[in-house]
Each structure stands twice: as structure tokens, then as C-alpha cells.
Amino acid sequence: MKQAKVRLYVDHPLAEGQTVSLSREQAHYLFGVMRLKDGGLVALFNGRDGEFPARIIESGKRAGVLECLAQSRPLHMPPDLWLCFAPIKKARTDFIVEKAAEMGAAVIQPMQTEFTNSERIRRDRLQAHAIEAAEQCGGTYVPEVADLMRMDRLLDAWPDDRQIMFCDESLVGAAETLSAASGHRWAIFIGPEGGFSDAERKRLSAMDIAHPVSLGPRILRADTAAVAAMTLWQQALGDWA
């Protein structure tokens, strides 16, 4: 069977024989931008049921209907990893969310630290970026983007069984790694451009489940640090092996 060249996330149950109605935006993308026609194939996923090739049975400028064929890929869950980061400038926050989705975060948690410059985010827009990243990278799961939360309140309710890898810029040049760490439930903490405050660093360091890690001999920008930290964690404890 011919392979679908376009992947699309839909908030709709998927199963063989299931029909899926498209929104106006989805119809415009498939038929106006990608120029697909009746009989063409689209790979659909919803973050729950895996991936299904679907045949276009109705196409129009403002609507369309697809019919699912046999499942092509099962749902593949990422590791139980949260990425907790301080929002920065708009485009670079978008970059962090996109890369977190591509690299296997299960939850993306924006957090307000003492030195966070951006005090507001649009969760719906960031969630859309996570969906687009999953469409592009072949993922069948879309990470949840949570509402912005103050770091102290986040830690007040922190579960005892979720380990924390926190990237400590004060350790630049130190050989602090995850070599002795273990566990299946994790979170990565990335601070803002000004880094974690002394009080925040002290609180994290006092937690038995928190592991300070160096990201090398240079201080990284926050968006670069997020990618570097996820790479380090995936290689040591994730599903890249």
C-alpha cells in the first residue's frame, strides 16, 4: 500500500473503519496547502490509539472526511520524564517546547523561578507547537504542556518518587553526572537566563531525590541547555539505548 506522506494529529477516536471529520484549518492544510485529493492517504494519530493511515473520501476548502484503514503503528509512550523550564523569549520558548516533544518528554511544565523574566505564557499556543513537533518527528504521543507554575509551589507538591535532574550552572567544569542515578520517574529542571537563585539551588540540593548535573565547561543558553540536558538524560536513563 502507498505510504502516507503527511501526518496529522486529530482529537478523535481512531480505529479501522472509523471516519474522521476535519476542521476548517485541517481541511485547508491538507487540500489547500498540501494539495491532497480524494483517494489520497494521510497518517492520523491522536496520542492514544496509535497511528492509522486514512483515505480521503471527501475534500473541500472548509471541510473533509477521512476513513481509517488498518493500524500502521501502535502507541509508543515516551519515558516518564517531565521537562520543567523557566520561559524565556517567545521564539526560544517555542523552540524548547518543540525539542522537548521531539526528544521524548511526557510532560512539559513551564515554571516561574525567581529570575524568570517572562511571567505569562499562552499554554494553548505552546500545546499547538508540541502537536506540530509530534507530527513532524513521527511520534504517536503528544506531551501535555501544563500551565505556568511557580517553582516553589511546584516543589511543595513534588511526589517523593520522582527524581530531579537539575542543571546547575555553578558546576561549570565539574564532572557531575547521572552515573549513580536510577529510577523510572524523572524530571529535568532548567533555570532562566540568570540561572537558579541561591535559595532555589539550596532547596534543590537539600532534596535527596535531586541530582545536580553539569552541562559542560561553558554556561549554556536556556534553550541550548534544555536540548543538552535531555540528550544527557536520554543517553543515561532514557529510551535511546
210-230: pLDDT as tens digits: 999 988 888 899 999 999 999
Which H or E element spans position 144?
Answer: strand 144-145
What share of the chain in percent tops pLDDT 70? 95
Number of domains in the chain: 2
pLDDT of residue 173: 57
Per residue in 54-108, pLDDT (tens digit) is: 999 999 989 999 999 999 999 999 999 999 999 998 899 999 999 999 999 999 9
CA end-to-end distance (rounded Å), the chain: 31
In a domain, 96, yes or no: yes
Per residue in 119-170, pLDDT (tens digit) is: 789 999 999 999 999 999 999 999 999 999 999 999 999 999 999 999 988 7
Q: List residues bridging with 235 in a β-sheet.
A: none
pLDDT of residue 69: 97
Is residue 226 domain-shared with residue 163, that is, in the same domain? yes
Q: How far is CA 152 from the centre of its chain?
A: 22
Count each helix (H run) and each strand (E run) in the chain, helices first.
6, 12
In a domain, 199, yes or no: yes
44 pLDDT higher than 70 = yes
- Position of cell 488498518? 70
Give the CATH number, domain containing residue 169.
3.40.1280.10
Q: What is the rounded average pLDDT of the residues 22-29? A: 96
Is residue 42 domain-shared with residue 156, that is, in the same domain? no
Asked if 231 and 188 touch (Cβ cutoff 8 Å), the reply is: no
Is residue 48 domain-shared with residue 88, that is, in the same domain? no
Given the DSSP bridges, would you call strands 64-68 and 19-21 parallel, antiparallel or unpaired? antiparallel
Q: Which domain holds residue 49?
A: 7-68
Confidence of residue 241 (pLDDT cuts 50, 70, 90): low
Is residue 116 domain-shared with residue 218, that is, in the same domain? yes
By three-state DSSP, how is residue 95 classified?
Answer: helix
Given the DSSP bridges, would you call strands 19-21 and 163-167 parallel, antiparallel or unpaired? unpaired
- For residue 5, is it left (φ>0), alpha (ψ between -120 and 50) or beta? alpha
Is residue 85 domain-shared with residue 53, that is, in the same domain? no
